[in-house]
Amino acid sequence: MMKQLTFVVLTAAALALTVALSPSACAKHGAKSLRVGVTSGPHAQIMEVVAVEAHKRGVDVKVVEFSDYVQPNAALADGSLDANSFQHLPYLERQRKDRGYRFDVLGTTVTFPIAAYSARHASLDALPKGAVIAIPNDPTNGARALRLLEVAGLLRLPGAAGSDVSPRDVAWTRAEYGIKELDAAQLTRVLDDVDLVVINTNYALEAGLDPFKGLAREATQSPYANVIAVRAGEGDRPELKTLVEAYHSAEVRAFIERTFKGAVVPAW
């Protein structure tokens, strides 16, 4: 009876040790693991490949998906995430200014050349007087959309490319059009309701749109490279450095080029 009891005690102890050494338990005791926030679509797809490469280097990456551009920064600020990868540098700079976020840039990721789409018209020349153009309602992506329309010849804007502008600054060159500002994540839903929509490429790809078939498309080289953001002062954490190393690997570059065929461009 004593031998049987001893066996039970030892078995229980072994089981407890196994639980204590499980991956989730290890993560709670300082193992190298990261929670990285992304928006759904291409950013999430890419980060899943990055997670595989990071795992090879000894870091476990948990990919956390969001459906908008607001929550990933809020989650990083409150400590729910270790890093995020979804925003271009001008957007991050505006968020720092408007919301007081103390974030550092750890590295660049990809560029999504933005494009304008229409379900009603085959070309920009076909836009009728009074046409409604939908653009993102956040200041940086809204300005980016207006700059694209400027390059396309629909309007004139003050200042140099990349500077902040809004619909109030627009001087129409062809005809008087209307501008409708909407949340970036909602723009794919109004394609049938307006004449032209400028859509961020991550959302366009998720909706099955082809940026190369847009009526206007941003140049590949632009100031809108996306970045990996972390809380200020945490950039020296070894596991975060490994995250950037994994993102900048040849395997991830090959995945981006093979999967997105120029719609998403490596920015490192």
Per-residue pLDDT of the chain (268 residues), as tens digits, is 434 433 333 333 433 333 333 333 334 434 599 999 999 999 999 999 999 999 999 999 999 999 999 999 999 999 999 999 999 999 999 999 999 999 999 999 999 999 999 999 999 999 999 999 999 999 999 999 999 999 999 999 998 665 689 999 999 998 999 999 999 999 999 999 999 999 999 999 999 999 999 999 998 888 899 999 999 999 999 999 999 999 999 999 999 999 999 999 999 9
Whether residues 101 and 119 share a domain: the answer is no
Q: How many domains does the chain have?
A: 2
**Residue where one domain finishes, among candidates 200, 217, 234:** 217
Whether residues 137 and 45 share a domain: the answer is no
Alpha helices, H only, the chain: 2-20, 23-28, 42-56, 71-77, 89-99, 139-151, 201-206, 238-247, 250-260
Cβ-Cβ contacts under 8 Å for 17 (sequence gap 6 or more): none
Give the 3-state DSSP-derived string for 96-164, with helices as H, strands as E and coil as C: HHHHCCCEEEEEECEECCCEEECCCCCCHHHCCCCCEEEEECCHHHHHHHHHHHHHCCCEECCCCCCCC
Whether residues 130 and 103 share a domain: the answer is no
Q: What residues make up the domain containing 48?
A: 32-112+224-266
pLDDT given at position 256 = 98
pLDDT given at position 163 = 66
CATH code for the domain in which residue 159 is found = 3.40.190.10
Whether residues 61 and 101 share a domain: the answer is yes
Examine residue 16 and state whether it is found in any structural domain, yes or no: no
Buried b (16+ CB within 10 A) or exposed e, 244-264: bebbbbeebeebbeeebeebb
Q: Is 213 exposed, middle or buried (0-12, 13-18, 19+ CB in 10 A)?
A: exposed
| Chain mean position to CA 212 | 20
Residue 33, number of CB atoms within 10 A of its CB: 17
pLDDT given at position 161 = 60
Whether residues 232 and 99 share a domain: the answer is yes
Residue 141, number of CB atoms within 10 A of its CB: 24
Report the alpha-carbon distance of residue 83 to residue 103 in Å, rounded.
Answer: 10
Q: Report yes or no: 189 and 160 within 8 Å, Cβ to Cβ.
A: no
- Among the listed residues 202, 260, 228, the one whose alpha carbon sits nearest the alpha carbon of residue 73: 228
Whether residues 76 and 121 share a domain: the answer is no
pLDDT given at position 8 = 37
Q: Report yes or no: 146 and 135 within 8 Å, Cβ to Cβ.
A: yes
- Among the listed residues 268, 262, 249, the one whose alpha carbon sits nearest the alpha carbon of residue 42: 262
